[in-house]
Amino acid sequence: MAPVVAAATDTKADFIRAHSQDDMFYRRLVEQYLKTFGTATRSDINELLIPKFGEDLSDSEKQRKIDNLLTAMRRDGVIANTGSRRYSKWRIAGQSG
């Protein structure tokens, strides 16, 4: 559905709910979580982000979006992953603990 159609049919809230936010929105959520709680498992991050994604993404697309987001944040030096693959935790880069 196009934004113009949503406005004309008074389904603007449905339009926004059905479409995902931009990546900066999700990056800020992850950063805020890590600054508040120190670390997060992948399960924690999934629990944080998946409900925020629009209804236009499949479950596998949501998982891939989180993979790409975490990889980009790691490459940008914002977050770091510690621990083994099975028991890894994400934290703000440069913080220990």
Q: What's the whole-number mean pLDDT along residues 26-40?
A: 97
More confident residue, 10 or 50: 50
Q: Does the pLDDT of residue 79 top 50, yes or no? A: yes
- pLDDT higher than threshold 70 for residue 65: yes
Contact predicate 80/91, CB 8 Å? yes
Whole-number Å distance between alpha carbons of 50 and 62: 7
- Among 54, 33, 36, 52, CA closest to 44: 33
Does pLDDT of 27 surpass 60?
yes
Q: pTM of the entire structure?
A: 0.76
| Tokens matching residue 27 | 């990056």
Bigger pLDDT: 66 vs 19: 66
Is 20-92 CATH 1.10.10? yes
